[in-house]
Structure 1
């Protein structure tokens, strides 16, 4: 009996050990986080990375550590997703898990956390739902907004014509034209090109864009990982903050005017609709619709609706100067389909495959937001064979998708033929995602596509681009900055056709 008892105890101990080992192994595998280079205390991997060209550094690391890996930017742990398959799997297939907004202190400081871009959780869900519905109510994606873009393109063409073919930097003209479209939706009206108050705002936007391209742009990068220290140091991050405060004042002023002239029965624009929503939820102490969220969301829409499209157009015009044979072919297609007198419209695009291909290749080539706008996981997440803790920042590298060498051979070369089939028809690609993908895809994607096509087509319909240097000497490679790739400054003459 004693021997039987000892045997039973021995077997129970063995089974327990086996169960403990199995549980430990399962937990260990579940908790296995993505690999990455060894990190130093405090600075993390910053000394191992090229802050002048972080996308290139991450490309090299992906070759060593695979398509899912971890880096430490100061004390901040970041999981990098490199390649179409993992980006799609995260943002689309597991879109809910990866729907958080990453915590970059500089963006947080500039944009706060109350708008549609930087908010999370229930705040973000309610603001995005309301914003998309309201933008549609005021013409987004409809014929009315297309007519506004056509009208603004006409004003832009006339303004360019008044330069009398003298060389100039078109940045301000493009920012003003593009911003007037989103202004007509959120503020209820466009601004005259001579409006001094609005010109000051345009200058602030242009200055912030230029600050991202200067040597001190890396100071802004460091701010994201050492915010407490950088608060006490001079640099572009301080100037960016001051400029953003002035832009915020402009928005608050317009909101105050709307509050005084609001007719609840007849909302004129996004701000009026938001003010009505605030009144409806007046008794809800937990409402997400406050003056602060209105200010931030309005500013988010204004900045997003202005910056991305105007910078894409600026870069597009630079590229077309470098390749005059491409712009000439586009003009032949424009003359054939539209002619010289009628205004371009979106219905023309289906009959203009080459122009459509050029527009797509511009967006692919410039790779405007190489890191995407950083995401985060909203809960402990199992992704492939890895465990990613809640709130971990995610870099879904759009660069790795738009410059995928299998889908787009020689990705550093500008070639509209990538988006054309052998018979000359337009070729779609799942890898084309300059507006991101999934739950936090750009809310204004449809508007931006419409603006880029109509503005660019209207310009080439009326003008031939004449660079100030020989076209072969033009450098079209982007200036890599903290968050966005920017076009190099240039001047160009617009010769009437």
Structure 2
């Protein structure tokens, strides 16, 4: 008797009904949801709906919400994730009931890579997070971080950026790399009180890390999926993305530690130069009961979080703006006319000029509506059982908000798929900001660097159009469409090159 025959003869047919029963029970448990829990798609066993979200997550979630409602449950891997759509529902959860929706869920992947108990972005909703956020907002608004204002730090970098563009006149350039360098220097100036030359190896390594991890290619998108199903980190190609981003963030933290170390050696408690000094002063302040929350590794991770949040969002929003300018010649003319009339061709753009440049502000507002680079909020978590729209959400349930569903809602915006800056102007030509623009999220988890990002968008964009004309490279393909982009950790435009010429 062969081995195969012997094994077959040892099979007990009585186990077959038991196996079928267990399979049915497991399938029932997988399908079953609590009473009054929202409906929604379950997808496939183990991975849930993850395979269906690879190409265009916000649009797919919006389409599902049309069937299941503004509060729906979506199976991400083995976890149920509540997806909120529409302004009324998102505002109710993250603002009106913010105490119940502002937690951060535990993710094994995020815990391993970002160190969940450190920094600011991934801390849970508790007193430590509240203290760290309050300090961060105060510092980022310029209180106690030196004599230089945030505006002056951005304007200082603009001079270097314009100088570099002059050298590149007439040549096809990939604006992303150098915009990322400029934005990185603004953050470095705020954090460490210093900047790096654009051709420095240290800066270029950091820029490469961000482009590889969060901007282009599939790495960011694949890693994003592992956040919802941690077992994917063992499966190619997700494993490669997980290991790459893990190594990149380790390098970034070492980079931050080096600069903190040299910075602290010259610390003067009577002269704060930047965020690093303000944080270190808080660490060493006598009689401060919250000193235990302020320590060196916390500083490293706070700076890491601010770098990750500030680099990609601002750079990609500026790139979307440039791409929209290439497709809308009339917008270039209108913005330049405001520059001539308000600032002059030889003046220096300042934030106060925003009040007198309504079309420019409307253009930036429309970029944030039309192409928000973070169309879905980072994951929240319920801190208690809570009711919303007639559904009961248990404590410790993961929740995300589909901000894209608000900014492309035809009931709020006429022709939402079209880029129309004029929609943000009143009948008498004044700029009208909207609370339905959620590019920086809303509620307690709203982006703490919002004011800095808005200042950068205005000053960089105006400086670019004041000094240069922008053209698509005639020797390459037409600029990519403004209606498509790359979905990863952020929504970014496809790569393109431009030619800049000085205005004379």
Checking the alignment, whether the CA contact within 8 Å between 2:145 and 2:278 is kept in structure 1 is no
Q: Aligned partners of 2:443, 2:340: CA distance in 1, in Å? A: 38
The correspondence for 2:482, drawn from 451, 476, 479, is 476
SS at match of 1:477: coil
User: 1:485 Cα shift?
Assistant: 0.6
Partner of 1:420: 425
CA distance in 1, matches of 2:392, 2:177: 47
1:183 is the counterpart of 2:188: yes
| TM-score, length basis structure 2 | 0.86
Q: Is the 8 A contact 1:381 1:388 kept in 2?
A: yes
Relative distance call for 1:105 and 1:493 in structure 2 (3 A) is: farther
Partner of 1:80, secondary structure, is strand
Q: CA RMSD in A?
A: 2.5
Is 1:495 equivalent to 2:501 in the alignment?
yes
Distance 1:218 1:299, change over 3 A: closer
- Which SS does the other structure have where 1:241 is aligned? helix
Change (3 A) 1:451 1:232: same
Q: CA deviation at 1:38?
A: 4.3
CA contact (8 A) 2:214 2:220 kept: no
1:159 aligns with one of 159, 164, 168 = 164
Instruction: Confirm or deny: 8 A CA contact 2:214 2:490 kept in the other structure.
Output: no
Instruction: Measure, in 1, the Cα distance between the counterparts of 2:355 and 2:145.
Output: 20
Matched residue of 1:100: which SS? coil
Residues 7-46 of structure 1 correspond to what in structure 2 (within 5 A)?
Answer: 32-38=36-42, 40-46=44-50
Which shows bigger deviation, 298-307 or 221-230? 221-230
User: Quick one: structure 1 residues 265 and 207, their matched pair in 2 at CA, closer, same or farther if it must change by over 3 Å?
Assistant: same
Query: Structure 1's 144 and 215: CA in aligned 2 closer, same or farther, altered over 3 A?
Result: closer
Aligned pairs for 1:225-304 within 5 A: 225-231=228-234, 233=236, 234-280=239-285, 287-304=292-309
- Cα distance in 2 for residues equivalent to 1:419 and 1:46: 36
Q: 2:178 aligns with which of 149, 173, 180?
A: 173
The residue correspondences of 1:93-492 to structure 2 (distance < 5 A) are 93-113=96-116, 114-120=118-124, 121-138=126-143, 144-210=149-215, 213-215=216-218, 217-231=220-234, 233=236, 234-280=239-285, 287-469=292-474, 474-492=480-498
SS class of match (2:101): coil
Task: Return the alpha-carbon distance in structure 2 between the equivalents of residues 268 and 208 of structure 1.
Answer: 31
Mean Cα deviation higher: 31-40 or 282-291: 282-291
Q: Which moved more, 1:132-141 or 1:175-184?
A: 132-141
Contact 2:145 2:272 in 1 (8 A): no
Which deviates more from structure 2 when the two are superposed, residues 446-455 or residues 385-394? 385-394
Q: Distance in 2 between matches of 1:460 and 1:84?
A: 34
Alignment TM-score, normalising by the size of structure 1: 0.87
Q: Which 5+ residue runs of structure 2 have no aligned equivalent?
A: 1-33
Q: What runs of 5+ residues in structure 1 fail to find an aligned partner?
A: 1-29
Aligned residues: 465
Q: 1:221 to 1:442 in 2, by over 3 A?
A: closer
Q: Deviations over 1:77-133 (max 9, x none)?
A: 110110010011111111111111244554444322111111112221121122122
1:212-269 Cα deviation digits (max 9, x unpaired): x424554324312332342464422221221111111100111221233323343322
Alpha-carbon deviation of 1:349?
1.2
The CA distance in 1 between the partners of 2:77 and 2:417, in whole Å, is 31
Partner of 2:65: 62
